Structure 1
Amino acid sequence: MKTKKLLTVLLILLTVVSTTGYYWDQEITQVQAKEEKKVEQILDPFKVASVQFNPILNERDKNVEELLKITEDAFKNGARLVVAPEMATTGYYYADREAIEPFVDSIPGKTTDAFEKLAKQYDSYIVFGMAEVDKETNLYYNSAALVGPEGYIGKYRKTQMWETEMHWGAWGDLGVPVFNTKLGKIAINICMDSAYWETARLAGIQGADILAFPTNSSAQAISALPARAQQNGMYVVSANRSNTENGFHMIGGSAIWSPKGTKLAEAPVVMTPSEDIDEPTITFATVDPKLYENENKEALEGRRPELYKELMHTVAPWDYTKNTTSHHIVAGALQYEPVLGEKEQNKEKIVRLIEEAKNKNADLNLVVLPELSLTGPVDGLKKHDVNALAEASDGESAKFFTEIAKKYEVAIVFGFIEQDGMDLYNSALLISQDGSVAGKYQKTHLSKSDKVWANAGESLPVFKTKELGKIGLLIGEDAEFPEASGVLAVKRADMIAIPSAWHGQYGGEMEINKVISANPYPEGSMVTWDAVAIGAQAYTVVSNYVGTEKNFLGGSSLYTLDPLYALDQPVVADDKEQALVVEFDTVQANAWFNQEMLILSRQTAYFKALVQK
């Protein structure tokens, strides 16, 4: 009897809990619907403004007053979104917590209150950088606030800090929130964040339409922005300073970038303190919400989070897996017009170009060939036709290149259609100078044409060699996904080779202001390939085709670790058949920013969303 009563009571309780849960869920859903209903997105093109504003150190109230004036000027000229620089309310350089303590403010707080009134008056939005104090912990953060007509909307705390800020501020702990507004989905990154592709990617995978980018940049941060726009299919509105503070010179060049990585507008660039512009500059451009949905954003669906787990690894300073020996590399990127399916003709071209490369530099020790090197690309062929060109990993292509490697004493990276049982792969082999196989890679991010016949690979390996050090391989469209090269960086690849068949289907020409880089980027430099090298801090050799009815664009190249501050020089071929020969020394242990610095400073705690489906 007692058992029956107990069961009855339990059933009643379960019913109440279930019903309560149902109504609670219904209430949450209704609240969410109301919130979403409040945000009626603007569909017509609208104007955005980047404010190149130079605050005065230790003058918070005066800076806020001046920033309000210049923001109102931008609003009066039609801007619906204004972005101001990093630390715009205080100035940038503070030695410690005591130095900045009088100038911090909470978010929301007095500063955001001042901008709320203005944003409401003009039915517009502003993002500005400021020094934040968390009232609960009394920790300070390099932060940025988003304020709109509805009031204070949200904030972002800088994830990847520069050394100067670490003396007074804590690492950002909010991840990368994306805010739903009338103008679309807005996210924020700050300055040094852009040196780490992960922070913008976290915005991209949440569907951000606009990345607001407050910065105090001397070159590195703003040079990465076309790649961040392109990789994630979002507009980027950057605001820099254009003067010098405590010896630190900020170069201006505030710019607005399209989701394709094209430059829409740019403020003056000032490379030396003698050119400082203390007065504020407003730069306008138009954002078209119709472009929020675009090919680059759609490409995010091709991510393979199951392959990216290493991105979460925090590598210790005493990492024993890294290579500490620099290798001198003389690489030949072979660029030719393939003859589809005609292996013998393609072999002749390859041998001729290797001999050309050897004649240019007898110390040649690495050759990189385009994707599917002997057959040429098989776009448009049906699977049974591709089958006829396929071979095992120790088949005709491997035997040919083994003999070539031994004859010319060079390591060779080449691509081929691999048959493994009933499966086909778009693969690449690395053959050592002695003719042995040092590694095999199967393309992990397939193009539309690959998907007709190929299986996707399931790993992103790095191969250790005596002659070259540690080398990672990517193929074609893999380069579109910074996660792929990011994994190779965590695995400490000294360099990356990319066999390609590029005819403009992704990427685009680099449009950063040429004066920004101490060693200028050559004509025809490609954003996507450069982003691999810079983002992984690994020298990257790309080999591409020219010609055919697909109009392959050439541009075989070497992309380097740091041309901005004159460490090294990118090299890019034109669109003619040739053997592009380049030289470089791997590792660069003494450089101010290198793979070691990159790996040790990544804030992996906030990257989990990148490795989850």
Structure 2
Amino acid sequence: MAKERLNEKVSKPFKVASIQFNAILNERDKNVTELLKLTEEAFKAGAKLVVAPEMSTTGYYYADRKSIEPFVDTIPGKTTNAFAKLAKQYDAYVVFGMPEVDQESDLYYNSAALVGPEGYIGKYRKTQMWESEMHWAAWGDLGVPVYDTKIGKIAINICMDSAYYETARLAGINGADILAFPTNSSAQAISALPARAMQNGMYVVSSNRSNTENGFHMIGGSAIWSPEGHKLAEAPVVMTEKEDIDEPTTIYAQIDPKQFNNKNKEALQERRPELYKELMQTVAPWDYTKNTTSHEIVATAVQYEPVIGNKELNKTKIISLIKQAKQENPKLNLVVLPELSLTGPVNKLTEKEINNLSEDPNGDSTQFITALAKELNISIVYGFIEKDNKNLYNSAQLISNDGKIAGKYQKTHLSTSDKKWATAGSSLPVFETENLGKIGILLGEDAMYPEASGVLAVKRADMIAIPSAWNGQYGGKMEINKVMSVNKYPENSMVIWDAVAIGAQAYTVVANYVGTEDNYLGGSSLYTLDPLYGLDQPVVASSNKEEAVTVTFETIQADAWFNQEMLILSRQPAYFKPLILE
């Protein structure tokens, strides 16, 4: 009877809790006692899953193996046994971070354990570590296990993992419903969580600290996110040491198992693993193909209301907006136009009408863009319906300022409407230019698949252009706490576009439409490498006005604490192999 009860899946909404708990350094027994007390309080309040922070049994900062040696424990072991008693008593689950010692190798790991009514269930060893832990811990070697429980499939990531989309993606492709996220974050790790929820269609329960240890300030902001990236609950955010909250804070939210199957999770079926092989490569520390010269980019993202199927009227809009931008800033050297720039979106046109609008890569649209590029001495990224023999593609081309085709990209992740007429592309190229550096292009729905921008990062794209036709079919507005970012995000910032830029560490210029009966949402924009700690500033256009938003940036930030070079050097692709298997 007990076994049947353990195996019975929960189908009704249930409560989950995140404990914003501040461990005391070197006080393992006191920390465990206090955390057991707080966990029991959450269980008594009805929580069926409790998540506690990273290294919650010991505190975070240890200089070397010797300093942490007295405080490590095996998993399973004494610590998990203590939590197992509570979990069994309350028929609930708990995830908490702790330093683990492996009995066979005597290696230490920054780990987290999952304990439930049946006792110890499983563990996760941090895959992407931050510098502090590297002085005592080995790199995690378990991948990202997903544990099937009666409240859903649970996976775990820890802190710095979220700066690398791959770790959450491994949970997503293995069917995780809930990602437990213990962290000790100063902003970067927790700011990525709405994107990780959206990209994988899973709930995220994060638990952070809210005080300062050895000069390292953790900002709180423990939160629970829905599979759509909506914030369900959040603990206080404290941005300075003066605001430290040493006392624990527990937040609660409801998780609905009916939401485990959702459109974002369904989108995982549209992944193209055969295109992602480069994710397994680490071309570092030597890479003679990367660009080492920073370029000053003055870019304009053009947004307008398309006249569907009327190339001539759309040309008029494009000329007017680009020439106005050039007049206002003579240094303008890059323009990005929306997806299918001259025809507008064709989802409501017939097959015959679409075919009549198609052209080869040197057709009328290219001739028009070429002339404009040469006249104004600018490079232009634009989209068009490409005809290649019997196949049609949703394509984009980069025309350089001398009027030459610098590169062509065929959309690889097709939307439902694209599939009615278009053939999917088969590569994710990066184009090298003399005056702009290395540029990658994504189109529309491509942005929802972080592997696509990940490949562009491995190929060392300095920036990414995203022509789009976005009306809310993926992604959504950013809901992270505004105080979390030194340089504030504009009001209508979009999570997924921001995730492309930060995840690839490549400046990202997005052009989108406004208006029409499909209600395109504008928001043409620049997303940057690091607004969180004040390196640079995102810029976002209006949601409903025809305009050309112009931005200026330097492509390579060699002196930044985190940049594309650091990203490439620190990725752990040995564990990413499931991402490239079909």
Instruction: Tell me the TM-score range normalised by the shorter chain.
Output: over 0.9
Going from structure 1 to structure 2, the CA distance change for 1:45 and 1:343 (only over 3 Å counts) comes to same
2:548 to 555, 575, 579: 579
Q: Distance in 2 between matches of 1:466 and 1:255?
A: 45
Q: 1:147-158 counterparts in 2 under 5 A?
A: 147-158=115-126
- Cα displacement (A) at 1:502: 0.3
Q: Distance in 2 between matches of 1:376 and 1:344?
A: 11
Q: Distance in 2 between matches of 1:37 and 1:383?
A: 55
Q: Distance in 1 between matches of 2:386 and 2:281?
A: 32
Going from structure 1 to structure 2, the CA distance change for 1:467 and 1:263 (only over 3 Å counts) comes to same
Q: CA RMSD in A?
A: 1.0
Give SS of 1:549's match: coil
Gaps of 5+ in 2: none
- Cα displacement (A) at 1:355: 1.1
Give SS of 1:229's match: helix
Q: Distance in 1 between matches of 2:98 and 2:203?
A: 22
- Answering whether residue 309 of structure 2 is matched by residue 328 of structure 1, we say no
Q: Distance in 2 between matches of 1:186 and 1:579?
A: 44
- Answering whether residue 67 of structure 2 is matched by residue 129 of structure 1, we say no
- Answering whether residue 201 of structure 2 is matched by residue 233 of structure 1, we say yes
Q: 1:490-509 counterparts in 2 under 5 A?
A: 490-509=458-477
Counterpart for residue 564 of structure 2: 595
Counterpart for residue 263 of structure 1: 231
Give SS of 1:231's match: helix
Structure 1 contact 144–156 (Cα < 8 Å) conserved: yes
Kindly provide the amino acid, as one letter, of the partner of residue 231 in structure 2.
K
Counterpart for residue 358 of structure 1: 326
1:468 to 436, 439, 451: 436
Going from structure 1 to structure 2, the CA distance change for 1:339 and 1:271 (only over 3 Å counts) comes to same
Q: Distance in 2 between matches of 1:413 and 1:120?
A: 59
- Cα displacement (A) at 1:359: 2.1
Counterpart for residue 561 of structure 1: 529
Q: 1:376-455 counterparts in 2 under 5 A?
A: 376-455=344-423
Q: Distance in 1 between matches of 2:7 and 2:338?
A: 48
Kindly provide the amino acid, as one letter, of the partner of residue 605 in structure 1.
A
Q: Percent identity?
A: 77
- Cα displacement (A) at 1:37: 9.5
Counterpart for residue 117 of structure 1: 85
Going from structure 1 to structure 2, the CA distance change for 1:545 and 1:36 (only over 3 Å counts) comes to farther
Give SS of 1:416's match: strand
Q: Distance in 1 between matches of 2:520 and 2:318?
A: 17
Query: Highest Rg: 1 or 2?
Result: 1
Deviations 1:279-333 (A, max 9, x none): 1000000000000000000000000000000000022212111100000000010
Q: Distance in 1 between matches of 2:327 and 2:364?
A: 27
Q: Distance in 1 between matches of 2:163 and 2:31?
A: 28
- Cα displacement (A) at 1:384: 2.1
Going from structure 1 to structure 2, the CA distance change for 1:37 and 1:474 (only over 3 Å counts) comes to farther
Structure 1 contact 392–418 (Cα < 8 Å) conserved: yes
Q: Distance in 2 between matches of 1:395 and 1:259?
A: 43
Kindly provide the amino acid, as one letter, of the partner of residue 581 in structure 1.
T
Deviations 1:130-166 (A, max 9, x none): 0000000000000000000000000000000000000
Q: 1:52-91 counterparts in 2 under 5 A?
A: 52-91=20-59
Taking structure 2 as the reference length, the TM-score comes to: 0.99
Structure 2 contact 6–117 (Cα < 8 Å) conserved: no
Counterpart for residue 424 of structure 2: 456
Q: Distance in 1 between matches of 2:566 and 2:250?
A: 35
- Answering whether residue 505 of structure 2 is matched by residue 537 of structure 1, we say yes
- Answering whether residue 270 of structure 2 is matched by residue 302 of structure 1, we say yes
Structure 1 contact 382–452 (Cα < 8 Å) conserved: no
Structure 1 contact 382–453 (Cα < 8 Å) conserved: no
- Cα displacement (A) at 1:382: 2.7
Q: Distance in 2 between matches of 1:399 and 1:57?
A: 66
Counterpart for residue 222 of structure 2: 254
Aligned residue pairs total: 580
Structure 2 contact 444–466 (Cα < 8 Å) conserved: yes
1:547 to 510, 515, 524: 515
Deviations 1:364-388 (A, max 9, x none): 0000000000001001223222101
Deviations 1:325-371 (A, max 9, x none): 00000001000000011111100100000111112211000000000
Kindly provide the amino acid, as one letter, of the partner of residue 301 in structure 1.
Q
Q: Distance in 1 between matches of 2:269 and 2:325?
A: 40
1:97 to 61, 65, 76: 65
Q: Distance in 2 between matches of 1:551 and 1:417?
A: 22
1:178 to 146, 149, 155: 146
Kindly provide the amino acid, as one letter, of the partner of residue 130 in structure 1.
M
Structure 2 contact 6–118 (Cα < 8 Å) conserved: no
Counterpart for residue 605 of structure 1: 574
1:205 to 173, 179, 197: 173
Deviations 1:149-198 (A, max 9, x none): 00000000000000000000000000000000011000000000000000
Give SS of 2:496's match: helix
Give SS of 1:388's match: helix
Counterpart for residue 250 of structure 2: 282
Q: Distance in 1 between matches of 2:407 and 2:524?
A: 22
Kindly provide the amino acid, as one letter, of the partner of residue 224 in structure 1.
A
Taking structure 1 as the reference length, the TM-score comes to: 0.94
Q: Distance in 1 between matches of 2:105 and 2:99?
A: 15
Going from structure 1 to structure 2, the CA distance change for 1:216 and 1:329 (only over 3 Å counts) comes to same
Kindly provide the amino acid, as one letter, of the partner of residue 277 in structure 1.
I
Q: Distance in 1 between matches of 2:310 and 2:233?
A: 47
Give SS of 2:394's match: strand
Kindly provide the amino acid, as one letter, of the partner of residue 505 in structure 2.
Q
Kindly provide the amino acid, as one letter, of the partner of residue 157 in structure 1.
R
Counterpart for residue 9 of structure 1: none
Deviations 1:371-424 (A, max 9, x none): 000001001223222101000000000000000000000000000000001100
1:528 to 496, 506, 516: 496
Give SS of 1:165's match: helix
Counterpart for residue 518 of structure 1: 486
Give SS of 1:114's match: helix
Give SS of 2:357's match: coil
Between 38-47 and 328-337, report the one with greater CA deviation.
38-47
Q: Distance in 2 between matches of 1:39 and 1:294?
A: 23
Gaps of 5+ in 1: 1-33
Structure 1 contact 557–571 (Cα < 8 Å) conserved: yes
Kindly provide the amino acid, as one letter, of the partner of residue 421 in structure 2.
W
